[in-house]
Amino acid sequence: MALARYFTGILSAVLSLSLAAAEVNLYSSRKDILIVPLLEQFEEQTGIEVNLITGKASALMSRIKSEGEVSPADLLITVDAGNLHRAKAEGLVQVIQSELLESAIPEVLRDPQMHWVGLTRRARTIFYAEDRVDPKLLSTYENLVDDEWEGRICIRSSSNIYNQSLVASLIEVHGEDATEAWAKGIVANMARKPTGGDTDQLRAVAAGQCDLAISNTYYYGRLLDSERANDKKVVDTVKVFWLNQNDRGAHVNISGAAIAKYAPNYDEAIKLLEFMVSEEVQSYYAEVNHEFPVVGSATVSATIQSLGTFKSHDLNLSILGKNNKSAVMIMDRANWQ
C-alpha cells in the first residue's frame, strides 16, 4: 500500500506539472482591445492559459533582455518589421519551427530564417484633400518632393518607426544618396513641423493645414467607422491614393510575432501563433483594426474593401530592419525632426 501511495503521488506530481505547463506567456505591444478577445477564444479552444503582459515594444524588449535566461516570456507580439528585426539582432528570439506558418504566411512577410513572422499587413500611402488636390497629379513616393507639393505635406516625426521603415524601403530601391535627397525634399515640402500621430496628419488635411498626409491606412479605417462628427468630416474631405501602382507598388509593413529565445513554453507559443493565422482570426483583425490579412483566403471588412485594391511592394520586410540605422541617419542629416 505504501508503494502504491508513493507511485500515486508521483503520478499526481507529473500530472500537476503537465497541467501547469499548459500556458503561454505573451509580451505584447498591441492594444488590449485588439488581442484579448482572441486570447480568450484561444484559451477556450485549446485549454492553454495565456498570461498577457502589455507595454511599448522597446520596454518589452528591454525587459526580455534584462530577464535573460530566466525570462518567462514565450512570445513577443509587436508592430513593424523594424522592431522585430531589432529583437532578432539583439538575440532575444529564436527560430520558429512550423510548417503551417511557413505555408500560410508569404515569404516576404517573414524573416528568411524564421525568427519572426507577420500576423497582419498595414500599408503606408498618401491621403489628399479632395477639394484642393487633383489625384491625377499624384503618382509615386518619389514625386512627393516635386515643387508642386512645397509647403503642402503633413507627416509625423523621424522618430516614428513607420517613417523609418518607409525610408529604409527607399534605400533598398534607390540607394542611400538618392534617398537622402528624397528625405531633404520631403522636409522642404512639409507644411508644418512634424507633430502628432497618423490620425493627426489626416485631421490636419481636413482642417486645411496641409493638402497631403502620409499615413497608415488603418488610421483612416478607424475614422471611416467612427460616428463622431469630427471624424466624419475627415473622411468626407480626405481620400486615399495608392502610390507607385505602375511600378513596384505601395509600401507595406506588418504587425508580427517572435518566440523568445528562452521560451519555457515553446510548443504552446507555436500553437498560439498558428491560431493567429487562422482565417477566423485574420478576418477579426481586418474587421476590428482595419489591417490587411497575411492570409489571402481571409475575408476583409466592408471598410477595408472601400479603400480599393492595390499593388504592394514585393520586398522581404527583413530589409526594413537591416536598413533602419541608415534610414535614421539619413533623416537626421535631412533635418527631419
pLDDT in tens, 161-170: 999 999 999 9
Mean pLDDT, the chain, whole residue set = 92
In this structure, how many other beta carbons lie within 10 angstroms of the beta carbon of residue 248? 17
Q: What DSSP line would sit under 234-248, residue for residue?
A: HHHHEEEE-TTTTTT
Q: Amino acid identity, residue 32?
A: D
Q: Give ∠ CA 61-280-46 in degrees, rounded to 5.
A: 70
CATH architecture of 123-250+318-333: 3-Layer(aba) Sandwich (3.40)
Given a contact cutoff of 8 angstroms between Cβ atoms, the answer to whether 180 and 209 are in contact is no
At residue 16, does pLDDT exceed 80? no
List every span in the chain annotated with CATH 3.40.190.10.
24-121+253-305, 123-250+318-333
Helix axes 32-46, 266-276, angle to 10 degrees: 110
Distance between CA atoms of 216 and 213, rounded to whole angstroms?
A: 10
Average pLDDT over residues 232-256: 96
Given a contact cutoff of 8 angstroms between Cβ atoms, the answer to whether 322 and 85 are in contact is yes
DSSP β-ladder status, 49-54 and 23-28: parallel
At residue 250, does pLDDT exceed 60? yes
Looking at residue 20, its pLDDT comes to 54
Looking at residue 297, its pLDDT comes to 86
Homologous superfamily of the 24-121+253-305 domain (CATH)? Periplasmic binding protein-like II (3.40.190.10)
Cell numbers for 136, please give them: 491625377
Given a contact cutoff of 8 angstroms between Cβ atoms, the answer to whether 249 and 310 are in contact is yes
Record the pTM. Answer: 0.89
Q: If pLDDT is split at 50, 70 and 90, which confidence band does 7 have?
A: very low
Instruction: Name residues whose C-beta falls within 8 Å of residue 107's C-beta, 6 or more positions apart in sequence.
Output: 316
At residue 13, does pLDDT exceed 60? no
Between 3-17, 43-57, 79-93, 192-206, the lowest mean confidence (pLDDT) is in: 3-17
Helix axes 279-289, 217-225, angle to 10 degrees: 70
- pLDDT per residue as tens digits for the range 86-124: 999 999 999 999 999 999 999 999 999 999 999 999 999
Instruction: Name residues whose C-beta falls within 8 Å of residue 100's C-beta, 6 or more positions apart in sequence.
Output: 274, 277
In this structure, how many other beta carbons lie within 10 angstroms of the beta carbon of residue 129? 19
At residue 1, does pLDDT exceed 50? no
At residue 5, does pLDDT exceed 50? no
